[in-house]
Chains A and B, each alone.
Chain A
Amino acid sequence: MNDVRRLKILVADDTDTDRLILESIVRKEGHAVVSACNGLQAVEVYRAERPDIVLLDALMPELDGFGAARKIKELAGDELVPIIFLTSLSDTESLVQCLDAGGDDFLSKPYNRIILQAKIKSFNRMRELHSTMLTQRDQIVQYNNRLLQEQTVAKHVFDNVAHSGCLNANNVRYFLSSLAVFNGDVLVAAQRPSGSMMVLLGDFTGHGLPAAIGAMPLASTFYGMVPKGFSMTDILREINGKLKNILPVGIFCCAVMMDINFRKRKIKIWNGGLPDCFVHHHADGSITAIKSTHLPLGVLSNRAFKDDCEYFDLEKNDRIFVWSDGIHEARNATGEMFGEQRLKQVFANNRNQNRLFDEIIEGVQQFVGGGEKDDDLSLLEIRMDEPERVNAYAKEASDRYGNSDVEWSMRFEVKPTSFKVFDPLPMLLNVLMEVPSLRAFSSTLYTILAELYTNALEHGVLKLDSGLKQTPDGFSEYYRLREERINLVDSGYVRINISHKTNENGGLLRVRIEDSGGGFDYSNRDDNGLTAFGYSGRGIGLVEKLCGGVKYSGRGNIAEVDFSWVSDD
């Protein structure tokens, strides 16, 4: 039976009998017929009727079948219009001519109904396949266009978040090549209030969108925290925690983070999973490699995360080179990798240090040649220089920080009605955590403040005897009394005085707590035997350890500690 849908078929033959026969055969098969008596007419009918299949006599007046076939193929454009030549020609040359003109097949005279039927069927299948293919091709083009358009919008957002920060500083050079619209490598740089520069080069597993997604929280965290003065370790922890939460298992970020202090010519560096960074020494051209000593960001929970950094003193014009493994793993046509040896050779061959950066890029590009790039390739060079030569911000911040220390103090008093309902510790700690250099010591500071305040309140204001706590019964009696007295208290105070001062290497925080109580005799107090006295406990021992001593004054109602720290930034 006829399973081919009704097609429109053009029959072009100048011989009336042949045309009559063909028309009848085609019609019998259930198709519609349009006819032409010569080549020109065939082209005209094709233009007007757009038949699905064309049967063309090879030899016709006006325009022969070959010419007509060419015109029809031209008119059809993308569409597949099978052309079957009707011919009693049998020499190879004529048949080749049919094919050259765009013919798809032949049908010899005398016509055979079965063969013609089979040919129509098979060409219709091919035509439908072709049209499906065209539709799908158009869909793919459409999808691809939409994808690109979406990526362009997303890239715009992405670039706004993961912008290049202060990478335009005079002493920074960088190169980022990307395999897709998005880069699996991320490079961010920003300056701290102190004028030092923080840089992070990250290489996410994978490429393109999935890799770039992780770069967004990384960059926004980085740019959110650096200008506020957070320490590198805090920022690393925050980024690590975010990536660990966000990224699926198996996607992580190999990264190097650096804090470069131009004033002190120091760098602090953390390498988690990227190839060795090089410090290139200006004086003798030697190299110090900085190995990765950590797991990449986003692998460990913050509890297990290690944030210890390495520190280096640099000379002016020493250069730090950081790269993603795209350089080491760049392959040439034979699949060989560039590798660290070749990279070191570039350094060994170098004659002009200002050309090092270019020589690395050129070295890799020459090595790769026409080979296919299979990873993102990133390179960063930072040259140690004086702050005023880095950029205006570094100069300004350096002037500001280099010549003046930050100094402030605050006084805070808790009144009797508040003892029961108000715990001043969180508030005080919040204030202290606004000081960037103190952020790393939050738990230590809490311990110090909590111990001193509790002592002042319980032993000073509430006059509780710590001796009670030495037996289990006394312990509960102590807390019963504490509850009772705190509800009744209507006089007294605890005054907290905190002063803060920075110096070149860190700073000093002095906490002085005074209570309204009767104090205690601290003149006999043994510096080592703390527990021998009433005014004691495990807590105060800890404070002594943390602060190197507690100084009492007044009638024993004033306790003062100095907490000093060395800033590693």
Chain B
Amino acid sequence: MDHLDYDTLDTLKQVMEDDFNLLIETFRQDSIERLKKLHEVVQGNDADLIRRAAHSFKGSSSNIGAQQLSALCATLEKKALAGNFQGLAEDVQIIEKEFLHVQSLLANYS
């Protein structure tokens, strides 16, 4: 699976026009917030909080075309839903790594 779906990104750029950069910037900041939240909630044992946080991040990353990131969030969401608390912190580490990669790809997309 690609890190970024450029077709989606192209469409977005077309739709958003001048706001495209604002969108990307919003995504970046929003994602940092969400990552922070994820780190936080995986420390606790509230499965629902984890599920929700993963779900939101899944949605916003899918919209921007970050397929891999969205898929990782989906896996985390499923785990939380199943009440599986094994290796959650590591999962968030992987998600964060993927986000940083997406961020650099987006920065190079024009």
Contacting residues, chain B, for A316 (C-beta < 8 A): none
A18 in contact with B15 given A59-B55, A110-B65 (CB within 8 Å): no
The 8 Å CB contact of A111, one of B19, B26, B55, B63, is B63
A329 to nearest B CB, angstroms? 69
Is A567 in contact with chain B by the CB < 8 A criterion?
no
Q: Which chain A residue shows the least CB distance to B33?
A: A16
Q: Would B52 and A110 count as touching, CB distance under 8 A?
A: no
Interface size (A, Cβ < 8 Å)?
A: 17
Q: Would B15 and A25 count as touching, CB distance under 8 A?
A: yes
Q: Would A20 and B23 count as touching, CB distance under 8 A?
A: yes
Q: Which chain B residue shows the least CB distance to A112?
A: B11
In the complex, per-residue mask of B9-48: 1 if CB is within 8 Å of any chain A CB, else 0: 0011001110100110011001000000000000000000
Q: Would A15 and B15 count as touching, CB distance under 8 A?
A: no
A110 in contact with B30 given A20-B23, A21-B12, A28-B15 (CB within 8 Å): no
Contacting residues, chain A, for B52 (C-beta < 8 A): 59
Q: Which chain A residue shows the least CB distance to B8?
A: A110
The 8 Å CB contact of A20, one of B11, B22, B55, B59, is B22
Is B62 in contact with chain A by the CB < 8 A criterion?
yes
Q: Which chain A residue shows the least CB distance to B16?
A: A24
The 8 Å CB contact of B26, one of A16, A59, A109, A110, is A16
Q: Would B12 and A15 count as touching, CB distance under 8 A?
A: no
Is B56 in contact with chain A by the CB < 8 A criterion?
yes
Is B60 in contact with chain A by the CB < 8 A criterion?
yes
Contacting residues, chain A, for B30 (C-beta < 8 A): 15-17
Q: Would B60 and A18 count as touching, CB distance under 8 A?
A: yes
Contacting residues, chain B, for A111 (C-beta < 8 A): 63
Q: Would B23 and A59 count as touching, CB distance under 8 A?
A: no
Contacting residues, chain A, for B55 (C-beta < 8 A): 59, 88-89
Q: Would A14 and B15 count as touching, CB distance under 8 A?
A: no
C-alpha gap A25/B30 in the complex (Å): 20
Is B89 in contact with chain A by the CB < 8 A criterion?
no
Q: In the complex, which of the residues B16, B26, B60 has the most CB atoms of chain A within 10 Å of its own CB atom?
A: B60
Q: Would B62 and A21 count as touching, CB distance under 8 A?
A: no
C-alpha gap A25/B13 in the complex (Å): 11
A109 in contact with B15 given A15-B30, A17-B23, A59-B52 (CB within 8 Å): no
Is A113 in contact with chain B by the CB < 8 A criterion?
yes
Q: Would B8 and A17 count as touching, CB distance under 8 A?
A: no
Q: Would B62 and A88 count as touching, CB distance under 8 A?
A: yes
Q: Would B62 and A110 count as touching, CB distance under 8 A?
A: yes
Q: Would B62 and A109 count as touching, CB distance under 8 A?
A: yes
Q: Would A21 and B58 count as touching, CB distance under 8 A?
A: no
C-alpha gap A373/B17 in the complex (Å): 70
A88 in contact with B59 given A17-B30, A21-B15 (CB within 8 Å): yes
In the complex, per-residue mask of A348-374: 1 if CB is within 8 Å of any chain B CB, else 0: 000000000000000000000000000
Contacting residues, chain B, for A18 (C-beta < 8 A): 59-60, 63
Contacting residues, chain A, for B65 (C-beta < 8 A): 110
C-alpha gap A109/B66 in the complex (Å): 12
Q: Would B60 and A17 count as touching, CB distance under 8 A?
A: yes
Is B64 in contact with chain A by the CB < 8 A criterion?
yes
Contacting residues, chain B, for A25 (C-beta < 8 A): 15
- Which residues of chain A in 102-141 are interfacial with respect to chain B, using CB atoms and an 8 Å cutoff? 109-111, 113
Contacting residues, chain B, for A21 (C-beta < 8 A): 12, 15-16, 23, 63
Contacting residues, chain B, for A88 (C-beta < 8 A): 55, 58-59, 62
C-alpha gap A88/B59 in the complex (Å): 6
Q: Which chain B residue shows the least CB distance to A25?
A: B15
Q: In the complex, which of the residues B12, B23, B59, B62 has the most CB atoms of chain A within 10 Å of its own CB atom?
A: B59
Q: Would B63 and A109 count as touching, CB distance under 8 A?
A: yes
A110 in contact with B15 given A59-B56, A88-B55 (CB within 8 Å): no
Q: Would A17 and B56 count as touching, CB distance under 8 A?
A: no
Q: Which chain A residue shows the least CB distance to B29?
A: A16
List 18 A-B residue pairs with CB atoms under 8 Å apart, sorted by A's residue number: A14-B56, A18-B59, A20-B16, A20-B26, A21-B12, A21-B16, A21-B63, A24-B16, A24-B17, A59-B52, A59-B56, A88-B55, A88-B59, A88-B62, A109-B63, A110-B63, A110-B65, A113-B15
Closest 4 CB pairs of A and B: A88-B59, A17-B27, A15-B60, A110-B63
